[in-house]
Amino acid sequence: MVSKFFTSLVSLAAVLGANASLTRRVACPDGRHTATNAACCALFPLRDDLQANLFDGGKCNAEAHESLRLTFHDAIAISPALEAQGKFGGGGADGSITIFSHIETGFHPNIGLDEVVEKQRPFLQRHNIGVADFIQFAGALGASNCAGAPQLSAFVGRKDATRPAPDGLVPEPFHTPDQIFARIADASSGEFDEILTVWLLTAHTIAAANDVDPTVPGSPFDSTPEIFDSQFFLETQLKGTAFTGRGPVQGEVQSPLRGEFRLQSDFAIARDQRTACEWQSFVNNQTKVQQMFQFVFHDLSILGQNIDDLVDCTEVIPIPRPLTTRTHFPAGMSDRDIEQACLETPFPTLPTDPGPRTGVAPV
Ligand code: HEM
Ligand SMILES: *[C@@H]1O[C@H](CO)[C@@H](O)[C@H](O)[C@H]1NC(C)=O
C-alpha cells in the first residue's frame, strides 16, 4: 500500500506538472478570477462567503473542525459488504447526511452534526453547488485555516444522494480497533487498511468532543486544537490520569491533561500492536502529517464517486499557513509520562514546554 502510494504520488506530480504547462486558464464570469476549469468558478464566491461568515474571517474555529468531521461522516457511509448481501450500502461522499439530515443526524455516531449541517445550509442555498461537493469543499476549506495543514483536495461533479445511508456505518469511539479497521476497510473496498486508518485519524489534531460527554463541550483531543500538528499523536501516548467531565462515559478513557478529552478508540489504536509504531512515527514529523492526510483525504472525499467524472478545483483552497511551533511535551511532562506502545523504535527526544503543569481550555 505504501509503495503504491509513492508511485501514485510520483505519477500525480508528473500529471500536475504537465497540466500546468498545457492547460489554458479560463476567465470566470465574476471578472476577478481565472480557473483551470470553468466548473471551479462558482467556488470562489462560496469560498469567500464561508471564510467570512462561517469560519469567522478564516479561522480554525469550531465550525472548521465540525466541517471536517462532517466530510468523514458523509463519506464513510458506504458498504460494499452490505451490497453483497443485497442490501443498500449507502452512497459514500454523496451529501446524504445533509440531504437526509432529519434521518442521518439521528444516527448515534452522528450526534451533534445537526448543528454544523444547519449552519452550512444557508451557504449551500445561496451558492450554485451540489450537496456532496459542498460538504467536502467546506471541510477542506475549514482545515486550510489551521496552521500546518496540508492543502486538501477539492473536486466538483459528485452525484448527490437520492436516499439516506443506512445506520451502523459510522465508527463509534467505543468500537474496538478490529471493528474500526473492518468498517474502514469495507467502506474503501480494502484500500484503507489499519495503517491508513492511522493516517485518517490525523484529523483529530484539530478536534474536540462536544457530545460524548455533553457536560464538557469543546474538550480538545490535544493541547493545540487550532494547529494541524503532531501533538495529537504525542499526547495520546501519554499516560491517562483522570477523566475530563463527569467521569467515565461510553467511548471515553482517562486523559493526561486537565480539560483534554481522550476517545477510547484513539487510545486503543495508539497502543494496538498493528498500529502503535505507525502512530508514533507521526510524532515530530510534520511532513508525514501533511502528506499522509492529504493523500487519504483525497480518497475519502470521493468514496462512492467516479474520479473520472470529477473536476479538480483544489486551486481554490488556500495554501495553509506553515507551522511555527515545535512538537513538545506539555509543561511538566517528559518521556517518563509516555506509555511506550511501539516496541521497535524508541520514543523521539523532545523538548518540554516551560512552566508548571497546566490543563487545556475548551474550544
Ligand atoms: C475512525 C474512527 C473515528 C472515530 C471513532 C471518531 C470519533 C469521533 C468522536 C466521538 C468525536 C467527538 C464528537 C463530539 O462529541 O462532538 C470526533 C470528533 C472529530 N472527528 Fe472523529 N472519529 C474517527 C475518525 C475521524 C476521521 C477519519 C476524521 C476526518 C477525516 C475525523 C474528524 C473529526 C473531527 C475534525 C472532529 C472534531 C469535531 C469538533 O471539534 O467539533 N474523525 N470523532
Ligand atoms: C518523516 O516521514 C517521511 C514520510 O513517511 C519519511 O520519509 C521520513 O523519513 C520521516 N522523517 C523522519 C525524520 O523520521
Q: What is the count of structural domains for the chain?
A: 1
Ligand 2 mean position, distance from CA 282 (Å): 8
303 found inside a domain: yes
The residues annotated with a catalytic role in the active site are 73
pLDDT at 336: 97
360 found inside a domain: no
- The whole domain housing 178 covers 35-337
pLDDT: which is higher, 20 or 169: 169
In 96-118, which positions are buried (b, 16+ CB within 10 angstroms) versus exposed (e)? bbbbbbebbbebebbeebeebbe
pLDDT: which is higher, 18 or 154: 154
Return the C-alpha cell found at 75.
463519506
70, 141, 204: which to mutate for ligand 1, most atoms within 8 A of CB?
204
22 found inside a domain: no
pLDDT at 24: 85
20 found inside a domain: no
Length of the chain, please?
363
From 81, 154, 69, select the one nearest 109 (Cα to Cα): 69
pLDDT tens figures, 13-39: 544 544 544 568 999 999 999 999 999
pLDDT at 1 over 60: no
The secondary structure of 154-177 as a DSSP string is -EE-PPPPSSPPPTT-S--TTS-H
Environment class of 160 (CB within 10 Å of its CB; exposed 0-12, middle 13-18, buried 19+): middle
In 194-226, which positions are buried (b, 16+ CB within 10 angstroms) versus exposed (e)? bbbbbbbbbbbbbbbbbebbeebbebbbbbbbb
| DSSP reduced 3-state for 302 | coil
- Atom number in ligand 1 closest to CA 76: 27
From 77, 52, 5, 65, select the one nearest 222 (Cα to Cα): 65
pLDDT at 6: 52
- Atom number in ligand 2 closest to CA 291: 4
Sole residue written with cell 449507502 = 90
CA dihedral 326, 330, 336, 339 (to 10 degrees): -90
Rounded distance between C-alpha atoms, residue 30 and residue 225, angstroms: 36
Q: CA-based angle 42:49:16, to the nearest 5?
A: 45
363 found inside a domain: no
pLDDT (mean) for 235-252: 97
361 found inside a domain: no
50 found inside a domain: yes
pLDDT at 199 over 90: yes
pLDDT at 72 over 90: yes
Ligand 1 mean position, distance from CA 265 (Å): 10
26 found inside a domain: no
| DSSP reduced 3-state for 93 | coil
Q: What backbone phi and psi angles, to 5 degrees, belong to 147? A: -55, 140
Q: How far does CA 328 lie from the centroid of its chain?
A: 22
Return the C-alpha cell found at 351.
523538548
The H-assigned helical ranges of the chain are: 2-22, 43-53, 62-75, 80-84, 96-99, 101-104, 113-126, 131-144, 177-187, 194-200, 231-235, 264-271, 276-281, 286-300
pLDDT: which is higher, 85 or 358: 85
- DSSP conformational letter for 318: P
pLDDT at 120: 98
Known binder of ligand: residue 205?
A: yes
Domain with residue 315: its CATH number is 1.10.520.10
Residue 252's beta-bridge partner residues? 263
Confidence of residue 8 (pLDDT cuts 50, 70, 90): low
The angle that helices 131-144 and 62-75 make with each other, rounded to 10 degrees, is 140
pLDDT at 22: 58
